[in-house]
């Protein structure tokens, strides 16, 4: 029904424009035709329903390779001479952010003179996705063409929330510098969806005689380290008479949380309290006669904050049958990639704090994706992929909400905004993670998300609720400004017709709402001018006559009848336009 109304509204506006503006005749567009080549276009034809008749060469070989350094979004293409062009790295998401070890660090070697190799150490990075796997590459060269056995393909960390990889002792040889990097890998619809590679880092495995001080505990790159009473240990250095120690959340050791000098033992216990889920760098320097003679640096990450206890007084603000639809506005999206246009969330069943929901998303290429999933409101057991879609009702500033993939967030405040045609009291929270800035707004009374915005690099995306059955649209008090000025009263029958057309046809779709918003921005000054010059009122009423006549037909006929009438009027308007153009051309000829 809304689609039909949208088409009618567009047709009416088109008729009015064609009848009031001087037309321009544009040359006809040629229909897209397949090119004369094995793979002329995606899907082989304009309808994208075919396949290339080309089967490929008998003996394929690689002609050349190019590293783009950024994402490549394409499907395989076969050129006119049978050359296949493809991309082997989708780079569909940002690279994982690395925690440690620091770039350029020296790792201690074991003490075996015959099999000199590394002591065990840990590579760690930030959690990027649930059930994510990772490709880890360790190589002898910066181009990663000489990979070593420490590399891992589709590695699945035992702890998803704190991913890390232990490099076994003796896996790497002494006196060697290694390059390493990683990326995330997911499997969706039997297809690997990979992130970009992280920036490469280096480390060197150094023999004891070259390295001096060896840092033992916490192990380099370790995670889940307690926040207090941390025992730091290191090996002795024969020429040192004392050691200095510094601990800082910054890699350059600025703003240290602890700093000691003149330590004579090869260990120190930090009794203070560190922040949750934070990377800390520590450094030990061997000193002789007041002069530093050797030093070593390492990094670890503290334990994540414990989850707040589940709310036992969860107030659920939704019921079975409720639905809400949000429309997207996106900038900076990769060219050629379909993007989401709208998302609809429907509550199929609601029992206590448990619900079954159906999520439908429409993409810009016309496809729709629908999935049904369970979720639990209030305990943190949200549905995967529906993070923040609904929270307990009537939360307020200072309360905590759980979002899958992000943890517990504190609501920052509440305000009043207009969503889906009504002013609503909303609560909101903003946060950042993995280089992405996010802001969420939830309707306070129902707990449903009514707005979400994301910024990552040059891309911004905002989803806002535009339609719902959970609350009534506020009755509009906005008048038809120009018509009211022309007729002298907002109660005129002609104005009622225009108002019915606005509410029943224009406000039910995005183009119509945009037209109404534009009208309400530009019309008040015009209406004021007409009011100040009463002699213009008859002219304005005459100008509004065709619009009122046409909208009268629209609001008093069935959609099918209206479409027929609008179609005839469009044809008449086009015929007039063509005729006017010919007369204009003839005038130039005789001139």
Encode pLDDT of 259-285 as tens digits: 999 999 999 999 888 988 888 999 999
Provide the pLDDT for residue 384: 44
Listed as ranges, residues in the chain with pLDDT below 70 are: 1-92, 108, 110-114, 130-131, 187-192, 207-212, 307-313, 378-387, 404-407, 433-436, 474-495, 503-505, 507-508, 510, 520-521, 527-528, 530, 544, 554-555, 557-591
In this structure, are residues 130 and 404 in contact, taking their beta carbons and an 8 Å threshold?
yes
Provide the pLDDT for residue 525: 73
For helices 537-555 and 2-20, angle between their N-to-C axes, nearest 10 degrees: 150
Provide the pLDDT for residue 84: 66
Give the separation between CA 357 and CA 47, rounded to whole angstroms: 34
Provide the pLDDT for residue 61: 58
Bridge-based pairing of strands 201-206 and 105-108 is parallel
Provide the pLDDT for residue 483: 62
In this structure, are residues 239 and 227 in contact, taking their beta carbons and an 8 Å threshold?
no
Provide the pLDDT for residue 139: 93
Q: Which of 238, 189, 234 is nearest to 216 (CA)?
A: 234
| Six-digit token string for 311 | 């709310």
Provide the pLDDT for residue 16: 40
In this structure, are residues 377 and 355 in contact, taking their beta carbons and an 8 Å threshold?
yes
Q: Taking the CA atoms of the chain, what radius of gyration do you get in angstroms?
A: 33
Q: What is the pLDDT of residues 218-231, one digit of tens each?
A: 887 788 888 888 99
- Within 10 A of 268 (CB to CB), how many other CB atoms are there? 19
Provide the pLDDT for residue 53: 63
In this structure, are residues 92 and 192 in contact, taking their beta carbons and an 8 Å threshold?
no
Q: Which of 390, 517, 380, 481 is nearest to 443 (CA)?
A: 390
Contacts of 28 (CB under 8 A, 6+ apart): none
Provide the pLDDT for residue 547: 72
In this structure, are residues 182 and 135 in contact, taking their beta carbons and an 8 Å threshold?
yes
Give the separation between CA 360 and CA 563, rounded to whole angstroms: 29
Provide the pLDDT for residue 25: 32
| Six-digit token string for 468 | 């719902």
Provide the pLDDT for residue 10: 45
Q: What is the DSSP letter of 387?
A: T
Provide the pLDDT for residue 418: 83
Provide the pLDDT for residue 438: 83
Give the separation between CA 226 and CA 257, rounded to whole angstroms: 15
Contacts of 509 (CB under 8 A, 6+ apart): 2, 5, 6, 9
Q: Which of 108, 103, 99, 164 is nearest to 284 (CA)?
A: 108
Provide the pLDDT for residue 535: 79
Count Cα atoms within 13 angstroms, Cβ side, for 213: 30
Query: SS3 breakdown of the chain: % helix, strand, coil, rounded to 5?
Result: 20, 35, 45
Model confidence, pTM: 0.40
Give the separation between CA 290 and CA 370, rounded to whole angstroms: 69
For helices 2-20 and 559-590, angle between their N-to-C axes, nearest 10 degrees: 20
Side by side, the strands of the sheet bearing 242-248 are 222-225, 291-302, 279-288, 242-248, 258-263
């Amino acid at each position: 029904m809304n689609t039909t109304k949208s088409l009618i509204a567009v047709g009416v506006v088109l008729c009015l424009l064609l009848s009031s503006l001087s037309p321009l005749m544009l040359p006809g567009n040629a229909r897209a035709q397949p090119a004369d080549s094995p793979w002329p276009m995606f899907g082989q034809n304009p309808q994208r329903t075919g396949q290339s008749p080309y089967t490929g060469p008998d003996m394929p070989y690689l002609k050349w390779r190019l590293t783009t350094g950024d994402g490549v979004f394409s499907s395989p293409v076969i050129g006119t001479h049978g050359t296949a062009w493809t991309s082997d790295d989708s780079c569909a998401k940002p690279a994982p952010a690395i925690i440690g070890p620091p770039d350029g660090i020296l790792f201690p070697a074991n003490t075996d003179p015959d099999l000199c190799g590394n002591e065990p150490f840990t590579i760690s990075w930030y959690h990027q996705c649930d059930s994510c796997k990772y490709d880890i590459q360790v190589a002898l060269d910066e181009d990663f063409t000489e990979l070593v056995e420490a590399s891992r393909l589709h590695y699945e960390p035992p702890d998803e929330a704190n991913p890390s990889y232990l490099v076994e002792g003796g896996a790497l040889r002494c006196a060697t510098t290694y390059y390493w990097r990683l990326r995330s890998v997911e499997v969706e619809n039997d297809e690997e969806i990979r992130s970009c590679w992280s920036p490469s880092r280096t480390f060197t495995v150094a023999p004891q005689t070259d390295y001096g001080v060896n840092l033992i505990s916490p192990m380099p790159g370790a995670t889940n380290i307690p926040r207090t009473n941390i025992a730091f240990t290191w090996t002795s250095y024969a020429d040192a008479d004392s050691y200095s120690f510094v601990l800082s959340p910054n890699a350059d050791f600025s703003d240290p949380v602890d700093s000691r000098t003149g330590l004579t033992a090869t260990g120190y216990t930090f009794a203070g309290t560190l922040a949750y889920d934070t990377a800390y760098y520590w450094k030990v320097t061997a000193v002789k006669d007041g002069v530093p003679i050797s030093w070593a640096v390492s990094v670890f990450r503290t334990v994540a904050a414990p989850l707040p206890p589940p709310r036992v007084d969860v107030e659920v603000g939704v019921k079975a049958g409720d639905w809400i639809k949000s429309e997207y506005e996106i900038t900076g999206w990769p060219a050629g990639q379909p993007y989401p246009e709208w998302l609809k969330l429907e509550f199929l069943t609601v029992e206590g704090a448990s619900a079954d929901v159906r999520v439908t998303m429409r993409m810009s290429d016309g496809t729709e994706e629908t999935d049904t999933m369970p979720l639990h409101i209030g305990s943190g057991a949200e549905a995967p992929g529906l993070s923040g879609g609904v929270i307990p009702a009537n939360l307020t500033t200072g309360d905590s909400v759980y979002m899958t993939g992000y943890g517990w967030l504190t609501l920052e405040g509440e305000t009043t905004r207009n969503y889906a045609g009504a002013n609503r009291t909303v609560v909101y929270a903003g946060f950042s993670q993995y280089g992405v800035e996010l802001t969420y707004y939830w309707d306070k009374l129902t707990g449903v998300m009514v707005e979400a915005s994301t910024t990552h690099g040059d891309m911004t995306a905002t989803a806002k609720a535009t339609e719902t059955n959970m609350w009534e649209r506020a009755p509009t008090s906005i008048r038809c400004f120009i018509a009211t000025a022309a007729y002298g009263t907002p109660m005129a029958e002609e104005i009622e017709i225009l108002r019915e057309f606005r509410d029943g046809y224009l406000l039910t779709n995005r183009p119509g709402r945009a037209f109404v918003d534009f009208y309400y921005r530009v019309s008040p000054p015009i209406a004021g001018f007409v009011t100040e010059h009463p002699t213009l009122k008859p002219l304005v009423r005459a100008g509004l006559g065709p619009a009122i006549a046409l909208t009268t037909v629209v609001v008093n006929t069935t959609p099918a009848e209206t479409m027929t009438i609008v179609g005839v009027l469009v044809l008449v308007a086009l015929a007039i336009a063509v005729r006017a153009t010919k007369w204009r051309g003839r005038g130039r000829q005789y001139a």
